[in-house]
Amino acid sequence: MTRLVLGIEALTGQGWTGGGIYIRNLMATLATLPEDEQPQVRLLGVSDPDDPAVAALRSFPFVDADPLLRRRESRPRRLLRRVARRLLGGLPALDPLYAGLDVTYPTFGSPVSGAAPVHWVPDFQHKHLPHLFTQQELAARDAGLAALAGQRVTLVLSSEAARGDFERFCPGAAVRLRVWPFVSQPPAGDGSDPRAEFGLPDRYLYLPNQFWVHKNHITAFRALARLAAQGEAPVLVCTGLEQDHRDPEHPRRLRHFLAEHGLEGHVRMLGLVAREKQVEIFRHAALVLQPSLFEGWSTVIEDAKALGRPILASDLAVHREQLTPQASVAPFGFFPPQDDAALADAIAGLWPSLAQAPDPGLEKAALALTIERQRAAARAFLDILREAVAAFRSR
């Protein structure tokens, strides 16, 4: 079988860490395949080939880094190439990075001449939580969705819940829908013990969401306040940027809640940490919390599953898709998303039975299951791409 030449948009940068992790997980998933089944990948949309996140993607053996690295050229030559591409309609032959591509993904940027565009929509949050968006943002997202729905191209969604959303919001769409849930395989940790490095107790809760309103830290904090009032609140560790561009005051309000309820000693906010350190925080957590009000396919849950960590998640349809006995070796449970009393009760019920982490046995079982799931996911993903290429070339 001929190897696909796949252009992957790197989605690197700190503005949307979930996008970068999604691409890293996709590459790790493809890496589980035998060499003769792997595609040839080129990285698109990269402004700095030496960015550490880009370098991590380039480290996969099936990534063809030569065209990307050849772009380290003088400014006049770079300007000349851009003018030539614009005048001649962006012919891929003008740039070795685009020459011979069969397919692009997730195709947020401009389509590449001669390559089948396979698109990805992470979720439909603006339809479920419109109050978190401006009218301009809502209009722009709706317009983009309508334009995509009218094309005879392939659109990948991450869950059956998202498929249901799309079919409800875009009835009669021309686009070909395919569901492909990603599987997370976090990178190896750095071997450190976060309890020593960050002054954490032997057992702690971990909430690894960005500090955006819909990530729903407040329900976790309220649950902790209930437990503290009963004299049995564990320490909750949080990582992620304390920023929310939609509601800049949100992180400050969370801090105020902690101060008002005397919880500063119970909640440790570590900020944005390196991915390798985050893996160690996961590994050493007694219990992971995912209280989010909305997700497309939760990276937090995928990471917890891959590392064999118990998890309590908000009761969303997509979370129930992710957390099944077939997909998780560790215990899990659900709570109503904004019911802090139910979350407090769930934590209190589990906490006495939770062992100090990490757990080598659970990690080994989780890794074996993750690799099995990744291989199946990798083949399913490539089947989607080949189908898209065949349809594109038969037009």
Q: What is the mean pLDDT of the chain?
A: 90
% of the chain exceeding 90 in pLDDT = 76
Q: Is residue 91 domain-shared with residue 150, that is, in the same domain?
A: yes
Contact 283, 307 (CB under 8 A): yes
191 pLDDT band (50/70/90 cuts)?
Answer: confident
- The rounded percent of the chain whose pLDDT value lies above 70 is 91
Residue 99 has a pLDDT of 85
Could you tell me which residue, 215 or 109, shows the higher pLDDT? Answer: 215
Domain around 332: 194-358
Residue 368 lies in a domain: no
Domain count within the chain: 2
- pLDDT range class, residue 326, cuts 50, 70, 90: very high
Is 57 within a domain? Answer: yes
Q: Per the domain annotation, does 365 fall within a domain? A: no
Residues 207 and 69 in one domain: no
* Distance, CA of 136 to CA of 142 (rounded, Å): 10
Considering the domain boundaries, does residue 114 fall inside one? yes
Evaluate whether residue 189 is within a structural domain.
Answer: no
**DSSP β-ladder status, 205-207 and 236-238:** parallel
Give the residue with greater pLDDT, 97 vs 30. Answer: 30
- Range of lowest pLDDT (54-68, 142-156, 239-253): 54-68
Mean pLDDT of the 112-118 span: 94
Tell me the C-alpha distance between 14 and 8, whole Å. 18
pLDDT of residue 11: 83
pLDDT of residue 16: 65
pLDDT at 91: 46
d(CA 300, CA 280): 14
Domain for residue 363, yes or no?
Answer: no
Residue 148 sits in the same domain as residue 216 = no
Which pLDDT score is estimated for 84?
52
Does residue 198 share a domain with residue 76? no
> What is the tens place of the pLDDT at every residue in 160-170?
999 999 999 99
Q: Residues 51, 52, 56, 61: is their CA dihedral positive or negative? A: positive
Say if residue 241 is in the same domain as residue 321: yes
Assess whether 201 and 179 both reside in one domain.
no
Split at pLDDT 50, 70, 90, the class of 93 is very low
**pLDDT above 50: residue 121:** yes
Same domain flag for 344 and 386: no
Query: 233: domain CATH number?
Result: 3.40.50.2000
- d(CA 9, CA 14) in angstroms, rounded, equals 15
Mean pLDDT on 181-185: 90
Strand, coil or helix: 60: coil
Q: Where are the alpha helices (DSSP H) in the chain?
A: 17-30, 52-58, 66-69, 75-87, 125-128, 135-149, 160-169, 194-198, 217-229, 250-260, 275-284, 299-306, 317-322, 340-350, 360-393
Res. 356 pLDDT band, cuts 50 70 90? confident
CB of 160 within 8 A of CB of 124?
no
Query: What is the pTM assigned to this prediction?
Result: 0.87
The model's pLDDT over 201-242, given as tens digits with 9 standing for 90+, comes to 999 999 999 999 999 999 999 999 999 999 988 999 999 999
SS3 92: helix
Q: Is the pLDDT of residue 179 over 60?
A: yes
Give pLDDT, residue 73: 47
Beta bridge partners of 313: 290, 334
Q: Read off the pLDDT of each residue in 330-351 and give the average, rounded to a whole number.
A: 96
Q: What is d(CA 124, CA 159) in angstroms, rounded to the nearest whole number? A: 11
Same domain, 220 and 345: yes
Same domain, 163 and 39: yes
**Alpha-carbon span 386 to 374, nearest angstrom:** 18
- CB-based contact 18:299 (threshold 8 Å): yes
Q: What is the CATH number of the domain that holds 88?
A: 3.40.50
Whole-number Å distance between alpha carbons of 30 and 38: 6
My answer on whether 201 and 332 are in the same domain is yes
Q: Is the pLDDT of residue 284 over 60?
A: yes
pLDDT in tens, 44-69: 988 788 888 888 899 999 998 776 66
Q: How many CB atoms lie within 10 A of CB 386?
A: 17
Strand order in the sheet with 311-314: 267-269, 236-238, 205-207, 287-290, 311-314, 332-335
Q: Do 31 and 175 lie in a common domain?
A: yes
From 270, 135, 266, select the one nearest 210 (Cα to Cα).
270
Q: Please report which confidence band the pLDDT of residue 74 belongs to, taking 50, 70 and 90 as the band edges.
A: very low
Is residue 188 assigned to a domain?
Answer: no
On whether both 150 and 211 belong to a single domain, the answer is: no
Q: How far is CA 16 from CA 98, 214, 244, 344, 394, in A?
A: 25, 15, 11, 30, 36
